[in-house]
Amino acid sequence: MDDYLHSPVGEGFFLPGEWEPHARCWVQWPSRAERWRDLMPQAYAEAAEVIRTIAVHEPVSVIVREDDVAQARFACGRNDRIRFVEIPIDDCWARDTAPLFVTNGTDAVAGIAWQFNGWGNSVHTYRNDAALAGTILQREKIKNFKGDMVLEGGAISADGYGTVIATEECLLNEDRNPELTRPEIEERLALFLGARKVLWLGGGLAADPTQGQVSRVAVFAGRDRVLVSEVSNPDDLDRATLEDNRAHLSDAVTARGDRLTVTSVPLPKNPQLDLDGKPMAANYLDYYVANGAVIVPSYGDPNDDVAALIIGSVFPDRKVVQVATPILAKGGGAIRRLTQPEPSLQVGES
């Protein structure tokens, strides 16, 4: 009972859908030089374009190292809707390392500082990113709930009404929370996010360096709407997993008793390689839902416009803006992974 009373849910907080109104967007500036190598200037340019595009629709707070502030300001240009917050960071994936913001829907926003271990210790230096969520909440004077397990924001997708989607491959991975059982993880998702039901999918993309994060394969796009990644090539390594994910969601019922409308979005048609010469987990669910717009990645691929049209049809009241992010994708992500939304105090029905 004590755990409940002092949890976000016990104090009236919940995780809203990402399409609810935002107070601002948090973005991290590319920083890991040994990762980006000679493509760092292109990574800067793509990140700046994402930031400028989002800033048309909502304020953006850019988390940046002290040594990189001048470069970030120059790349983003003069804009009163963009502010720069100097904090030590290891790289740019705010979706996984910035706070996961929750709201009580009326007069308060809080943040959750989950534990972060570099995607199951897949990177060697992550001390700054592991401390980032708590640092942001302290500086912004936002109430901080300390999550007692390893969880990245990209590992879950929520409808804002008590249903969360996750993959077994990611959240039950022995490199994240080996001491926790599935029921114990579900209990934490309930206490911290308000999850009354978890829809478990099997896995993510085979090439995913984050070990199967759900946000590359299935995301809520409304209270009873889900977008899923799809591949048409029968010989593709991801086909069986993606078909299984879609079938599971098509049969699922949410915490509110709703059946889901499941819409498929194709993966990029042309295979590409990441910065290490390995297959790349590029996808079009790596978009950002801003106030009044949805910012969709493009990769110079034949499926760019097809995917943008499908995503736009699910958000008919928002402008669809495509931003080219082929270099960010080579580094491990695109627009969703670069960003973390902070909800406004008022949230509404969708």
Domain ranges for the chain: 2-343
Q: Token digits for 230?
A: 């799809």
Q: What Cα–Cα distance (Å) separates residue 4 from each residue in 11, 53, 187, 225?
A: 8, 40, 10, 30
pLDDT in tens, 147-186: 999 999 999 999 999 999 999 999 999 999 999 999 999 9
What is the per-residue pLDDT for 349? 46
Looking at residue 234, what is its pLDDT? 87
Q: Which residues contact 74 (CB under 8 A, 6 or more apart)?
A: none
Exposed / middle / buried, residue 238 (Cβ in 10 Å: 0-12, 13-18, 19+)? buried
Largest CA distance in the chain: 54
The yes-or-no verdict on residue 347 having pLDDT over 60 is no
Residue 350's pLDDT band, with cuts at 50, 70 and 90, is very low
Q: Indicate whether 109 pLDDT > 90.
A: yes
In the predicted structure, residue 327 carries a pLDDT above the cut 90? yes
Report the C-alpha gap between 21 and 62 in whole angstroms.
Answer: 19
Give, for 120, the enclosing helix (H) or strand (E). helix 118-121
Assess whether pLDDT exceeds 60 at residue 348: no
- The 109-115 sheet, strands edge to edge: 100-103, 109-115, 143-150
Please give the Cα distance from 19 to 220 (Å, whole number).
Answer: 9
Handedness of CA 30, 204, 210, 130 (dihedral sign): positive
Q: What is the mean pLDDT of residues 232-248?
A: 94
Over residues 3-53, the pLDDT tens digits come to 766 899 999 999 999 999 999 999 999 999 999 999 999 999 999 999 999
- Are the CB atoms for 30 and 92 separated by under 8 Å? yes
- Return the CATH class of domain 2-343: alpha beta
Q: Which of 75, 100, 91 minimizes the C-alpha distance to 33?
A: 91
User: Quick one: how far is CA 199 from the chain centroid?
Assistant: 17
Helices 40-55 and 69-76 sit at what angle, rounded to 10 degrees?
A: 60
pLDDT of amino acid 59: 98
